[in-house]
Every structure is written in structure tokens, then in C-alpha cells.
Structure 1
Amino acid sequence: MYFKLLSWCVSYVWRNKKSLILSSILFSVVLGIIPYFSLIISKKFINELSLFIMSSKEIPGYSNIVILLLAQVAIQTFSTGIGYLDQYLEKKNLSLLEQKLVIEMTSKLSKIPLLTYDDPEFHNHFGRINTNISERFWSPIRSIKEFIKTVLSIGSYTFILLAVSYKLIVLCVIVTIPLFFIQSRLGKNKFHFSIEVSSLMKEIRYIYSILTDRNYAKEMRAYSLNNFFLNRWSQKYLDHTGRTLSLEKKQYIIKMSTESATSVFYIFTSVFVLVVMRRIGSLQIGDFLIVNQALNNTQTALNRLTVIYSDLKVSLLYLKDLKVFFDLEEHLEAVCLSPEETSSTEYLSLQNVTFRYPTQTVCTLKGISFSINKGEKIAIIGSNGSGKTTLIKCLLGLYKEYQGEIRIMGEDIKHMPDDRLRKTYAVIFQDFLKFPYTVKENIYFGDVDSESSHSDSRVISASTKAGIHGMISNLPEKYNTYLGNYIHYGVDFSGGQWQKTALARALYRHSDILVLDEPTASLDSRSEMEVFKELLTNSEDKTVIFISHRIASARYADKIILLKEGEIIEQGTHNELVAKHGEYYQLYSMGEEIEVMNETIPC
């Protein structure tokens, strides 16, 4: 598994930024062999310096000392320069790699089935990978780079140690073996801990956002919720901090124990070096210090290898999470088939559509069947939880995991390419987007792919149909006025003005079907009815599907579909359904009585 992940990582970076790998390998080799030359020069310098100090007369060693000192400074300067250059090139290339990865990840997100996207587990998973993406990709390669540099350094130190005794190298390796397993275990514990607390961290970030986000400020103050959520945030934060510190405490104890053992080993080997060098008769001060330094550096480098191995395994485990995301199943490419023959007027049809969410045992939609003629205005009504929004997501092709058939002009939408299907619809959701850009941009975002996407005349036409042109004309910068204060200081629209802006965005789009998924839910029934009547007037050439849980506006539709618990219990015109004296009639009569009562209440 690890090798496959590493191969995938290296091949991806090689395809997109091979210069990053090549420069890293080159610098690793250079930085790996520099310590050897630095130690050799240091040894000569110390020996020359000791001879110079012990001598009672001037000797040529003075010039040698200066030359060796300059050589040492040159090597140190060169090493530092290479290190900084390596860091700069790495940072530069990682920023470009980050851009590439973000583009690919957001593109992947747009292709993942919405049903998968709605899954909380998916968002926990995505939250783990959606930070420092390029770092996640580069971390395994950085470990390899550090491995190359460290191995070369160990190799250079080995030449020095072999001149004394091979036993020094054997001792270093023996001491490193337990550290290898300890570091590996610590790395795994850290990774599994990050998965364990991912949902807790998600809640901590969410609570912090509602404490600081301006969109929550009014309700948080109105209900005096700040202290309540601040206490909850503190509890969750302390819980996370306590668990984190508990893990780190254990790791620090283990690390301190291993470092203490390493220090004892260093003292023992230093004495061993002193005895061996005295026995072989090469006990010069410079030789002893450099061999001792090489021994210490070798042990440090071997310990570093265990850390590199641990980091590599952890980074590959994180990378596995990332690969799982990239391997997620996408919408299958639609296979275009010849549309079935339909009547000359039938435009959109549903045949026995059934849908069930993966986490539920009961179907949300049960055998839904109806047809819509071109240009018809349809109202789909029902109480909350009746399946209205799920039905719309199926109609829009956002959910394709349904059973049955949905056809437009006889063509099954499962066989329509997504881009063509999207152009068929314009939609306003209940939680429509409020972009912090100009009024003009908020409208033409409805059709950014059109050749005339930035047409001012189309923007004005759409806003006029939505009944908002007059208000926009009175703004400080008219259509160039920014909305909200998130990016720029702009104008705050009321809820109704935002709804009309969203309607203008939908009308701006060149589409045959207009879908409104309860976008006026925050309005009272009379205001909703006025919006619906205005919409019918300005969308004569479009097929309109209007979703609501209210009866008042539905009377103006060409056809009304009443949903209850995922099933169609009645459908027909307003007059037809009233004449049946069924459930629609009861709801309508109740609604009428409420309106009359509201009218008779004195102000």
C-alpha cells in the first residue's frame, strides 16, 4: 500500500512540477556530502591550530590556519546558500502545485454525486484533507529528500569512523533499532488521533464561526446565546486540548527517555574512542574531536532516519485520505440515446420515480408520475418533509440515484450530458446564494457561459422582469453597487430585495424551465402570491415549476400537484381540486379562513 501511494504521489508531482523533484534531489546530494568535507577541514584546522599554539617559534602553519579557516567559512556559506535556495525554489513550486491541486479538487467536487456530497461523513473526510493540500503531496517526497541527504551524510561519517573501528558503526545501528519502532508507533498514534478528533474539531470551528460571523449576530444577541455557545465552545475546546496534551505528554516522556539513553550511549562511545585512538597511537586533538563529532553526527543522523521513516508513513496515511477523495466515484458520463416519441405538447415527464436516501429505510419519494406541457406553470405543494425538495433535486439531475424515469422532450436525463441538462434549467433555491459582488454580477452569474454573458441590456431586462430595476437605479453606483460588506463596503439588501435579485439571476439565464424551490418561504403568503403572479406575467415563454408549502399562490398555476409523505395524493387545476372536496380543498379552505381572520383583526 505504502509503495503504491508513494508512486502515485511522485508521479503526480513529476507530471506537474518535475523541476521541483530534480532540484530537490540535486540539493540533497550536495547538502549530504558537505558535512564530510566540513569535518575533514575542521580536523586539519584544529591540528594546525594546536601545533601553532604549542610551537615556540614562528612556523609556516600560520598561513595554513588562515587558508583552512577561509575554506571552512566558504563551505559554511555555500551550504547556507544552497539551503536557502532550496527553500525558495520549494516554496515557489509548492505555491504553483497548490494552485493545480485546488483546481483539480474543486473540479472533482463538482463531479461528485450530490448525494455523496450531502453525507456528513464525506465532509468529515474532506475536512481532514482540505488544508495544506500541496504540503500533503510534497511531504512524502520531502521525506525521501531528507532520507537521501541523511544517508549521504552517514556515508561520509562512516569513512571517518572506519579509520578508528567498525564497532562504532555497529553500536550506532544497534541503538537506532528500538528508536525505529518507537518513532513508527508515535507517528501512527498521531495520525489515528487526528481522525478521532476530526468531528470534534469540526464542531469547535462551527461554534467559533457562529460566535464571530456577522450573519449570526442578530439572532445570537436576540436570544442571548453568546454565553451559552461560548461555554459550549470552551467545553469542546478543553476536551480537545486535554486529549491532545495527553497524547503529547506520552510522546514527550518516550522521547525524553530515548534521548537520555542516547546521551548515555554518547558518553560510553566517547570513552571507547579515546581508548581505541590511544591504543593505535593517533591521538591528536583534532583527530579525537572530529572522530567524536562524526560519531555524534552519525548517531543523530541515524535517529533522524527513524523520524524520517515515521514522518513518511504518517504523510502516506494522510495521502491515502487524499487519494480516497480523488478515487471517489463521479457522475458517469452520459451516453446520448435517441429520445422516445412523445406527444407534441408533453415537455417533461416523470414515470414511477422512487428515491431513498442511503441512511434511511423509508423511501422519500414513492412512485411519482406526472407530465408537464411546454409553457405550463406547475405548483408542487405539500407540508415540510413531504419530499418536495428531494423531487426537485431529482428533476434537476442533482440526484441520479432514483428509480424510474425522468424525461425532457422524450430524452432520459440520466443520458443527457450534465452541461446540456444544466442549461435546460434556471433554479432559485430556498437558500439561494447572496454573492458579495456588484448587483450586475449577482444577476449575470446566472449565465456566465453565454457569449453575451456580460450584456448590460440583458441584465436590465432581467431585473425589470423581476421588478427590481427601479430600486437598483436609485443605488449610489446603480448596477455597479456592491452588495453586503464581506469584501467591500456595499449596500445591504432586504430579504425581499435579495429574492428579487435571485429571480433576476434566474430570468437572465437562457433556459426553458424555471424552478423555484420555496425561495419566498420567508415572505408572508400575500407577498409570495404577488411574487408568483409577477413571475407568471414575466415568464410566458418558460415552463415554471413552483415549490411551496402554501396554498394561496398555487391557485394561479395551470396544474397543482399535492405531495404527502413522498406520494402524489392529488393533482389537477385549482378548480378541479376544489371540486373534488379532497385534501387540497380542506387545506385551501383552512388557508382562506386564516386569511379572512387576519384581515378582520384590527390594527
Structure 2
Amino acid sequence: MPIVSLFLITIFEYGASSLLDFATVKLRLNIRGKLRPELIELCSNLDYPCIENDKTLDLISRVKTNPEEWVYKVFNDLISLTVLVMKVGLILGILAYNVWWAVLIIIAILIPFSKLSIISGRVNYEANRQVTKQQRKYLYFGKVLSSRDYVEERVLFQYGNRINEMWLDNYEIARKYQLKVEKKWFIRMKSSGFMTAGFCIIILFLLLAPTLNGVISIGLYVSFIGIIFELIDLLSWDLTNKIDAMTQSKEAVKDLNSFLELERIEGANIKSTAPLKFESLAFRNVKFKYPNGSCNVLQDVTFEMKAGKHYAFVGENGSGKTTIIKLIIGLYRGYEGEILLNGKSLKDYKLADINATFSNVFQDFAKYSMSIRDNIEIGDINAVETMTDEKLHQIVEDINLKEQIEKLDKGLDTQLGKINESGLDISGGQWQKIAIARTMVSSAPVRILDEPTSALDPISESEVYHNFQRISKEYTTIFVTHRLASVKEADEIFVLEGGTIIERGSHKELIDKGEKYCKMYETQKGWYV
């Protein structure tokens, strides 16, 4: 019977271990399958100011690094710690039955020892928080050294060694800081462990006298030796490590909760299927400064736009042109004054309605590694299923890309970028035209071009603006540009300086005034003489 029992226990132990491994893998996959897509979805709905905040970026960087592992670790560490505490409790119970005073000594040591482990876990994870900024830096420099986007300048300027030094400097700062903290607390923890081991060995010496006097049998004393040494191993290493790990996992989950509490905008990733009928847009004494900014970027900006008209914002760099566009499309809402869309405060609209009202392309537009067709169609995501080739061909013809696309074997279905083996890399000017096509394909009643033609030559730029104006006659258009020759056809031009509109009027009216706009225009005119 004992042999059969031993055989059954061995089979059970092996089988239980295999089942536990299987359950662990399944649990991790389930957590990953549910948690990671949800985190990506939450990231896409973050309020825009959050994305531009360094602390938030550090938080996102930590949370996005294997979040499922931290959630799993909390679960796993909790179970392991519970089992370990039960084991220690059982051993202490056996010891207390025979030498109760020894247990009191061990508990007196264990309480501060556990607190020290908790502090160690918190400090070590805080060190991880502190080095996140350095990690973001050296990961960026690593991207510069390895990414194809930088290869031309990397070869031309031969800056590889310099960037590698910058990568190494930031990597070493992060590594040494974390190592310093972990080393400090490791020494403290293990010093306490040696103290615990010393006290336990003293207990064994104290038990020698009653053993020699016959109060405790030699067999029981030998058992005590085994129990004490197992207790030393549990208290000095396993328990402290588990408490430390559990505390770090708990701090990581706090970060996850902080991320979940970040401000999000309902409908940030949605475009209404029924665009508003645009009637007017008005700024009333709008003042604005960026979060954590020290001064206003816009100061008492007032203007009004009407449906079907064409407008332009011009001015020097930093005058506030792009900031106005960001406020119009709802990226920032922390402004003073009023922004009225159809006579109603912009803050009272859902972002999904604002997304459907304005279609814009920025100077730093995105380049998507997918087909030309997909690159253009995402400009009106609600109409992708019904988008016709005829409409797409007309748009690429309007932006002067028809010839180039017709020469390609797969035409509109040609893959762009280098994610796919057959991906085509096109010029910066062609990328800009595709970005403009996204705006033109949209059904939004207001079309915005914010410095979209910087990579185009003057002739191509003039053609793009002329064609854009021609096919946007039924739309309201807003141009933001440095090149004043491109805005001559605008119904009204707003000239900005220092975050304030200093002039307004048609091209002819502003030229006749002979002030800021006229001087800028004459200066640029001289570039081509």
C-alpha cells in the first residue's frame, strides 16, 4: 500500500504540474487577447493634450510594455505568496507546539522584515518609473540608427557613431540608476535575511540544553534542525522575493489604473455618418495657451467664416496659424472665449460630428504603408465600401498623379512603403498629393489644407491649389500657408502676428493697404525675379 500510494502521489504531482503549466499559458493568452486590444482602443480615444504630455507618454510607454504580464504576475504572485505564507504558518505552528517562545522571536523579526520587502518593491518600481524617460530616448536613438526612414541622412552625414554614443549615454544612465537602486535594496534585504538566519541558528543553540537534559528527544531536535533551516530559506529568500515581486506588480497595476483614468473623448475615433450642414464658424475673443505653456499662443482672436467661401491664414512661423486649426477641429478645448459652429459652442458638439464636418491635411501628414487606394479612401472611412474607381481616378487626375499611377502595374492597388516586399517608395511631393487626395475624397463640408504643399515645386503647388479650388467650389475651404501666391483666390485672408489677427481682407485689399501682407508678398515675389 505505501508503494502504491507513493506511485499515485508521484503521478498526481507530475500531472498537476503539467495541468498548471497548461492553465498558465491559457490564462496568459486570454489576458493578452482581452487586455491588449482594449488598451490600443483606449489609446486611440485619448484626449489630444494627453498625448503631448511627457508624463503621460512615459506612463503609456510603461503600460504598453507587456501589460498582460503584469496582470498575470499579480495573480501568480498572489497565489505563490498565499501558498508560501501557509507553508510558513504551518512550520511555525509545528514549532509553536513544542517551543512557543521561538515562534514569538521569529514573528517579531518577520514583521519589520516584511515591511522592508514592501518598501523595496515600491522603490524598485519607482526606479523603473524614473528611467522610463531615458528608455524612451535610447529607444528613439536606436530607431534612428536602424530605421529606413533615416538611412539617406545617416549615410550622407555619417553620424552613426555620434548617435550610437548618444544611445549608449542614455542607456547607461538608465541602467546604472536602476542597478544602483536595486543593489542598495538587495543588500538591505539580504542583510536582514542573514540576521533572520542568525536568530534561527541561535534558537537551535538554545534548544540544545533541553535536548541534553532529555526534555526534547534527539529525534525531535533533528526535526527542528530541518524545520529551522527550511524556515531560514523561506524567510531569507523566498518570502522576501515574493513580497518584493508582489509589490512591484501592484505598482505596475496602479500605473495601468492611472492610464485607464486618463481623460478620453467620446467619439474620438468615430466619424458621424451624417455630416452637419455647415453654415458658419466664428471665433470670439479666443485666447489659448498649450498645457504647461507659460504664455498665450493666441490672444483675442476674432473672425467669422461663412459657408461656401474660401479663407486663408498667413503669417510667420509661430504666429498661431496651425493652433487655430487645431482648435477648429477640436483637438484642444481648454481655450478662453468662444468658438461657435453654426451659432452653437464647439464644446457642445460631439467629436464625431466635428470629425465629419472638417477634413484636413497637415504639413506633418501621415504616410501609411498600404495601397494607394487605401491611403486615399481612409479620408472618408464611412464611404469606403461604396467608393468607386471612377471617383478615385478623378481625384488623382485633379492632383496630377494620374500619369504616374497609370504607369504602375497594379495602379491604385500598388502597395506603398516598405512593410510589404513589393512596396513602392515614392517622393515626398507624391506623398503630399496623396495626403491632399484624402481631404478631397471626404464628404466633409469644410476642407482644410495646413501647409500641405511644402515638398512641391511652385508650379505643382499652384496647380494643386488651383485644382483644389476648382473642385471645392461647393465647399468651404481654409488654407494655411507661407506662400502667399497660393492664396490670391481666397475670399478673405487673415494675417497673423504674435497670436493676433493684424490684417484681414482679400488679396487686392491687403495689397492696396501696403502693410504687413503687402511686404510679405513683395518679398516672396522677389524670390522668383
Q: Do Structure 1 and Structure 2 share a fold, with TM-score over 0.5?
A: yes
How far the C-alpha of 1:87 sits from its partner, in A, is 2.0
Q: Which moved more, 1:410-419 or 1:390-399?
A: 410-419
Q: Distance in 1 between matches of 2:331 and 2:173?
A: 38
SS in structure 2 at match of 1:498: helix
Task: Provide the TM-score with structure 1 as the length reference.
Answer: 0.78
How far the C-alpha of 1:417 sits from its partner, in A, is 1.1
How far the C-alpha of 1:184 sits from its partner, in A, is 2.4
SS in structure 2 at match of 1:351: strand
Q: 2:285 aligns with which of 352, 360, 364?
A: 352
Q: Which moved more, 1:185-194 or 1:148-157?
A: 148-157
Determine if contact 1:172/1:298 at 8 Å carries over to the other structure. Answer: no
Structure 1 stretches of 5 or more lacking a match?
Answer: 1-62, 335-343, 597-603
Look up the match of 2:271: none
**1:233 aligns to 2:170 (yes or no):** no
1:116 alignment partner AA: C
Going from structure 1 to structure 2, the CA distance change for 1:163 and 1:412 (only over 3 Å counts) comes to closer
Going from structure 1 to structure 2, the CA distance change for 1:346 and 1:67 (only over 3 Å counts) comes to closer
How far the C-alpha of 1:442 sits from its partner, in A, is 0.8
Q: Distance in 2 between matches of 1:471 and 1:518?
A: 23
Q: 2:28 aligns with which of 91, 97, 100?
A: 91
**1:437 aligns to 2:370 (yes or no):** yes
Q: Distance in 1 between matches of 2:377 and 2:482?
A: 29
Look up the match of 2:412: 479
Look up the match of 1:424: 357
Look up the match of 1:192: 126
Bigger Rg over Cα = 1
SS in structure 1 at match of 2:55: helix
1:145 alignment partner AA: I
Q: Deviations over 1:369-397 (max 9, x none)?
A: 22223222212111111101101001111
Determine if contact 2:297/2:320 at 8 Å carries over to the other structure. Answer: yes
Going from structure 1 to structure 2, the CA distance change for 1:359 and 1:155 (only over 3 Å counts) comes to closer
Q: 1:206 aligns with which of 135, 140, 162?
A: 140
Q: Deviations over 1:301-344 (max 9, x none)?
A: 4454444333333333333333223223344899xxxxxxxxx9
How far the C-alpha of 1:267 sits from its partner, in A, is 4.3
Determine if contact 1:447/1:453 at 8 Å carries over to the other structure. Answer: no
Determine if contact 1:97/1:134 at 8 Å carries over to the other structure. Answer: no
Going from structure 1 to structure 2, the CA distance change for 1:161 and 1:309 (only over 3 Å counts) comes to same
Q: How does 1:408-423 map to 2 (within 5 A)?
A: 408-423=341-356
Q: 1:541 aligns with which of 470, 474, 479?
A: 474
Look up the match of 2:398: 465
Q: Distance in 2 between matches of 1:515 and 1:488?
A: 34
Look up the match of 1:550: 483
Determine if contact 1:387/1:565 at 8 Å carries over to the other structure. Answer: yes
Look up the match of 1:142: 76
Q: How does 1:54-133 map to 2 (within 5 A)?
A: 64=2, 66-67=3-4, 69-99=6-36, 102-103=37-38, 105-133=39-67
Going from structure 1 to structure 2, the CA distance change for 1:110 and 1:281 (only over 3 Å counts) comes to closer
Look up the match of 2:242: 308
Going from structure 1 to structure 2, the CA distance change for 1:373 and 1:68 (only over 3 Å counts) comes to closer
Structure 2 stretches of 5 or more lacking a match?
Answer: 269-276
Look up the match of 2:180: 246
Determine if contact 1:512/1:542 at 8 Å carries over to the other structure. Answer: yes
Q: Distance in 1 between matches of 2:184 and 2:52?
A: 38
Q: Which moved more, 1:225-234 or 1:264-273?
A: 264-273
**What's the RMSD between the two structures over aligned residues?**
2.9
Determine if contact 1:173/1:302 at 8 Å carries over to the other structure. Answer: no
SS in structure 1 at match of 2:488: helix
Q: Deviations over 1:511-534 (max 9, x none)?
A: 111101101123343432222112
Going from structure 1 to structure 2, the CA distance change for 1:171 and 1:313 (only over 3 Å counts) comes to same
Q: How does 1:267-306 map to 2 (within 5 A)?
A: 267-269=201-203, 279=214, 283-284=218-219, 292-303=225-236, 304-306=238-240
Determine if contact 1:436/1:483 at 8 Å carries over to the other structure. Answer: yes
How far the C-alpha of 1:218 sits from its partner, in A, is 1.4
Q: Deviations over 1:259-291 (max 9, x none)?
A: 43444455445566677677357545xx76665
How far the C-alpha of 1:200 sits from its partner, in A, is 1.8
How far the C-alpha of 1:549 sits from its partner, in A, is 1.2
Q: Distance in 1 between matches of 2:208 and 2:410?
A: 84
Q: Which moved more, 1:289-298 or 1:552-561?
A: 289-298
Q: Distance in 1 between matches of 2:400 and 2:472?
A: 13
Q: Distance in 2 between matches of 1:354 and 1:138?
A: 47
Going from structure 1 to structure 2, the CA distance change for 1:117 and 1:577 (only over 3 Å counts) comes to same
SS in structure 1 at match of 2:383: coil
SS in structure 2 at match of 1:433: coil
Aligned residues: 519
Q: 2:444 aligns with which of 505, 508, 511?
A: 511
How far the C-alpha of 1:559 sits from its partner, in A, is 2.0
Q: Distance in 2 between matches of 1:564 and 1:386?
A: 5
**1:181 aligns to 2:115 (yes or no):** yes
Determine if contact 1:115/1:399 at 8 Å carries over to the other structure. Answer: yes
